[in-house]
Amino acid sequence: MLQFCKGTDYLPFTDEYEEIREIGEMNDNRVIGFNWLQAEEVTCILKSVEDNRDAIRDRFLLSLLYESGARINEILSLKLLDIKPTSNGEADVHFYGKGNKHRITPLSREIWNQYGSYCEKYHLVQKPDDLMFYSFRNGQRNKMSSDNVSRILSDCESKIRKDRPELIHLHSHLFRRTRAMHLYQAGVPLPTISEWLGHSNIETTRFYAKVTEEMKREALHRLSESDKSVFKDDAAFKYADNEDVLKRLCGLK
């Protein structure tokens, strides 16, 4: 811990102190290579499982993974009792995440309908404490592993790449990231998204806002440098490098 010199109001090692202060000013390079799926790509992925032997299961699993925005282990730890219908024909899913923290996430009517079809085939006898998703080992039901989900996504990726070679690599966390970006782009407030994802700190969620801000900044620069800008001295371009104005444009202030 840094100590003040006795009888003074300044720090003894100013060079070291300035270096420490600059840590917070370093650029966050995580925005580079940050990818997520477009809505039509998610739809394409869900359709790609139609020929699978376990198409009903795979579609429901991936739909739930996307719509809930949950971590893969949270999905695979679900029990039948964790999805409950609401009065309007939709449903809520109850998650117990890190530190056994409980949160409730709303699900659409489409997911509730898929859940019913899934149970008709995979849970003929419905016991509330049964695992939602399972695989058989030695004739016994066991919790499905994340490797199983990776194999499903790998199969989807192989099928889709035949027509969409530009598709990014599919992995379970991509669905969580995608859901967060779709919610933010739809105007859902960051605190709500933070609760939705089960983030313990809203600063984690602010990363999605930072990515969107970077996208808008890049778009402003590309347009201002092209012949498509209407006015070269347009206010948007005039303040393109003004952090405070950019944040207001992005709705962050």
pLDDT, tens digit, for every residue of 37-89? Answer: 999 999 999 999 999 999 999 999 999 999 999 999 999 999 999 999 998 88
Percent of the chain beyond pLDDT 90? Answer: 48
Q: Is the pLDDT of residue 202 over 50?
A: yes
Mean pLDDT, residues 95-116 taken together:
87
**Choice between 233 and 110, residue whose per-residue pLDDT is larger:** 110
Q: What is the pTM of this model?
A: 0.71
Q: How far apart are the first and last CA of the chain?
A: 33
Q: Are 213 and 247 in contact (CB under 8 A)?
A: yes
For residues 74 and 236, give the distance between their C-alpha atoms in angstroms, rounded to a whole number: 43
Looking at domain 39-192, what is its CATH homologous superfamily? Intergrase catalytic core (1.10.443.10)
What distance in Å separates the CA atoms of residue 199 and residue 220, rounded to the nearest whole number? 31
- 144: three-class secondary structure by DSSP: coil
List the chain domain ranges: 39-192, 201-253
